[in-house]
A and B are shown apart, each in its own frame.
Chain A
Amino acid sequence: MPAEEGKILAVSSVSKRFGGLLALDSVSFEVQRGEIFSVIGPNGAGKTTLFSCLVGTYPPTAGSVRFRGEELKGLRNDQVVARGLVRTHQIVKPFRDMTVSDNVRVGVLYGRLRLRGAKARERVDEVLSRTQLGHRAQAKAGILSIGELKRLEIARALATGPEVLCLDEVMGGLNPAEIQQAMALVRALRDSGLTILMIEHHVHAVAGLSDRLVVLNFGKKIAEGRPAEALRDPAVVAAYLGDETKEARA
């Protein structure tokens, strides 16, 4: 655990309404500095919507998001990034016509650090090597494999110089070896001082990595706590497996 303790992100009573659909219903939780904090839940539970509300992709309908004591609600996405809170996308969004290196450079030039010249080049190289994309630096992003694209999502977000990194299903679609690799990367990022907030479906990864987690279902928080306890909570089991039916595990 890093030396500096204390809450870095406080989400209180955040709701998001899309027309008649209440995608998030008064969700609250706090993330401590240096934690790996997971957000889990069945498909459509509102996890990605939550991330979008945190970083300002769109504003929450109600509630507040405080990052290092500062209210984020009302800030645009780029303003939130400049303060040190950044997210990746579950459906990867590479700049396909750009090289991998230029993809990362966007984050370096525009994020919180806004480096220029030699310092920017160093940062790009450092991020590429940390995410094991160095050998692909000059390849066009459009030709990367899904595993590499997921790492590129992390690399670009990391390049912005965040304090809190929100990872949206960076292990989806990866093979077991790549998942091991990704878990090691997430751990290394936390050990370097970052706070990680992650959405993940892969139960092994969630249980193995998370310090704490919240469980969402139909936009509501149904459980919170350490993975061992929260994953055994009857409400969570019911949400994933169904109340009475014995459908196959997801």
Chain B
Amino acid sequence: MTGLLRRHPALLPGVLFAAFLLLAPLFAQRGMLNDLWNMAFFVVLATAWNLLGGFAGQVSLGYSAFVGIGAYTTVLLANAGWSPWLTLPIGAALAAAFSVVVGLPTFRLRGPYFTIATIGVGEAVRVIASGLEFTGGSSGLRMPAGTFDFNANYYAMVVLALLTLALVAWLQRHAFGLGLDAIRQDIDAAEALGVPSTRAKLQAHAISSALVAIAGGLFAVNFQFISPGSVFDFRLSLTIVLMPIVGGMGTMTGPVVGALLFSYLQIKLLASPVLRDSYLFIYGGLLIVVMLFEPKGIVGLWERLIALRPRRQAPPPVGEVRRAS
């Protein structure tokens, strides 16, 4: 651990924040813990989405489908007598399987055509969930009584967020991440060098949708009630995309920054009766500003500021190794 920190000093704030999240229940109020839970939830969604959307450049607007699959799996199985914990891997597996079924046809499309197709998939799943009897139709489903344990759910979401960050960071540093980066930059060149692009995209899709589905399961436990309007909502899909874009797509810190900013805004705005429905509006404004001035998001702006600052010491040597293979 200390060795890792010495090699990557940039990890220090992350480690401190992780420690804060894990220790918070010892001193923080319930309201603050709720906010932190919410932040961790959005960190999972944004970071997992970024694996496919940011690193591989496949911008999907259908991720609420995976939140919903995870949430519905948990509620349905819990009502059948399962422990909510055991439902999480089932939801993850179902979401991963569904991501492959969706990915096989849609990954044949490129750029905006892929994105448009994923909107269709997300909406189709919402309409189906609203129409089916066993999903409770548009009125939704309730968790069975006695399944709520705030502390356990808080820790589960925080641990999931940390594991998601660790997994995505690990993948990014290895061959898989380099392959995704190659696909994003030039898919034809990537294939010409032997990158199996469709398989890599399917794998990234499956991993990220499984993580998102686990978050969806914990969402269901936390709120004890779900409906197509809450977990299959297109606005949720949009939120999942906006966080990494505003924070900085294809970076590790970008989606986290976007998620923290978004959950903070949402909490503040929801508390205000005048502004409660305007958070997407404000976020849209932020999106426009980011797109106009720095396509790499807040992280890109920050890096430019750092570069502007007069240097006190010599720049790092050119031979600095950025990525270990």
Contacts and interface: CB of A to CB of B under 8 A. Distances in A.
A121 B196 CA distance: 21
B193 A102 contact: no
Contacts of A106: 178-179, 182, 190, 193, 195
A95 B186 CA distance: 7
Interface stretch (B42-50, B102-110, B299-307, B316-324): B316-324
Nearest to A135: B318
A26 interface: no
Contact of A109 (B179, B192, B318): B179
Contacts of B175: 109-110, 116
A219 B197 CA distance: 30
Contact of A157 (B182, B190, B193, B320): B193
A130 to B, nearest CB: 17
A111 B194 contact: yes
Given A97-B185, A98-B185, A106-B178, A138 B194 contact: no
Contacts of A121: 325
A157 B193 CA distance: 6
Contact of B193 (A107, A120, A137, A139): A107
Contacts of B320: 138
Contacts of B190: 95, 106
Contacts of B186: 93-95
B196 A95 contact: no
B325 A110 contact: no
Contacts of A96: 185
B35 interface: no
A81 B192 contact: yes
B184 to A, nearest CB: 9
Interface string A24-63: 0000000000000000000000000000000101000000
Nearest to B325: A120
Interface in A110-141: 110-112, 116-117, 120-121, 124, 137-139
Contacts of B197: 78
Contacts of B195: 78, 106, 110
A153 to B, nearest CB: 9
Contacts of A110: 175, 179, 193-196
Interface in B245-271: none
A226 interface: no
Contact of A89 (B181, B189, B322): B189
Nearest to A136: B318
Contacts of B277: none
Contact of B192 (A55, A108, A116, A139): A55
Contacts of A78: 191, 194-197
Interface residues of A, number: 39
Contacts of B182: 95, 98, 106
A117 B325 CA distance: 6
Given A89-B189, A93-B188, A116-B325, A160 B319 contact: no
A73 interface: no
A201 interface: no
B193 A156 contact: yes
B249 to A, nearest CB: 12
A81 B194 CA distance: 5
Contact of B191 (A76, A116, A139): A76
A99 interface: yes
Contacts of B179: 106, 109-110
Which has the most chain A C-beta neighbours within 10 Å: B182, B188, B323? B182
A76 B192 contact: no
A137 B317 CA distance: 13
Given A117-B325, A121-B325, A138-B320, A87 B192 contact: yes
B185 A76 contact: no
A82 interface: yes
Contact of A86 (B192, B319, B322): B192
Interface string B17-33: 00000000000000000
B197 to A, nearest CB: 7
Contacts of B185: 95-98
Nearest to B195: A110
A33 B190 CA distance: 27
Interface of A: 55, 57, 76-79, 81-82, 86-87, 89, 93-99, 102, 105-112, 116-117, 120-121, 124, 137-139, 156-157, 159-160
19 contacts: A57-B192, A78-B195, A78-B196, A79-B196, A87-B192, A89-B189, A93-B186, A95-B185, A98-B181, A98-B185, A102-B181, A105-B178, A106-B178, A106-B190, A108-B325, A110-B196, A111-B193, A121-B325, A160-B194
Q: Which 9 A-B pairs have the closest CB atoms?
A: A81-B194, A93-B189, A110-B194, A95-B185, A109-B175, A111-B194, A77-B191, A107-B193, A78-B196
